[in-house]
Amino acid sequence: MNGKITIADLAEAKLGNRKISVVSCYDYTTAQLISQTDVEMIIVGDSAAQAVLGFDSTLPVTMDFMVAITAGVRRGATNVFLVADMPFLSYQVGRNEAIKNAGRFVVEAGVQMVKIEVNIAHLDVIKAVSDAGIAVMAHIGIKPQSIGKIGRFKAEATTAEMATELITLATKAVDAGANSLLIEGVAAEVAEIITKRSQVPVISCGSGVGCDGQVLIAPDILGLSHGRYPKFAKSYSNFAEATIEAIKKYSKEIKSGEFPDDGHSYHMKPGQLEQLQKLMKEHGFEF
């Protein structure tokens, strides 16, 4: 894929059985690095509440915060297909509010799609946002914004009855206008069935290999979560330990006077120190 990746490119990848790589990140610096890889999509997740702000759920992040960090990610990765999470209470309170907030992501942050955690009650929201000309990714399976209602998360669609309900929801979400699905924490067999039945790209978050693509958050990929990994996450490096060691070395050099050295310092132009000393003496300054 050349140039800026579009929704048409993702649809072609699905038709061509080419897997889609997705990373969830929250900042300009990481987005810049991702943009230099062959990752097709970035999702700016409301998981920033945990990964960036240290909360124990996704619920506290606001629209203003999400728009600000998403805009930063877009500036860092101008070529990648960009999706933004609609945070808690940004769409649940009504269709008009959902359209307004989804529109903010498009206008203020340059996203190409918004992600909405979906149950049957939100199908009208998908339709309203889609009818407004904004692409929607329907998030089904484990829905982190529902933590206050269910108390704890567990794998979804592990029984035939639960699987039937989820397959039905996926179908209805696409019928309502969803241009993509994200399936989180769902039995791999069921996620594969949904993917095969769906005409839109399906991204797995801990839902097995049978989907059109996979997503993990950047801190997990980089080994920055420091031991707090869900079952489905995989680390490809150990930047947590490397970061700790680098900061220890930095602190040690400060304390020993090794840093900053002359090469990391600015200096006055030749002869100006003597001129400064003369001026200070004229003004009665001690030095």
* Residue for token pair 């992040």: 61
The C-alpha atoms of residue 213 and residue 236 are separated, in whole angstroms, by 18
Q: Which amino acid is at 49?
A: A
SS3 44: strand
Q: Which long-range contacts (CB under 8 A, 24 or more apart) does 229-233 make?
A: 230/206, 231/206, 232/185, 232/205, 232/206, 232/207, 233/206
Helices (H) and strands (E) in the chain, counts: 12, 8
SS3 99: helix
Q: Assess contact for 114 and 135: CB atoms under 8 A.
A: yes
The C-alpha atoms of residue 258 and residue 262 are separated, in whole angstroms, by 10
Catalytic annotation present for 241: no
Cis bond before residue 219 (omega within 30° of 0): no
Catalytic residue among 40, 117, 184, 192: 184
Report, as residue numbers or ranges, the catalytic residues.
Answer: 184
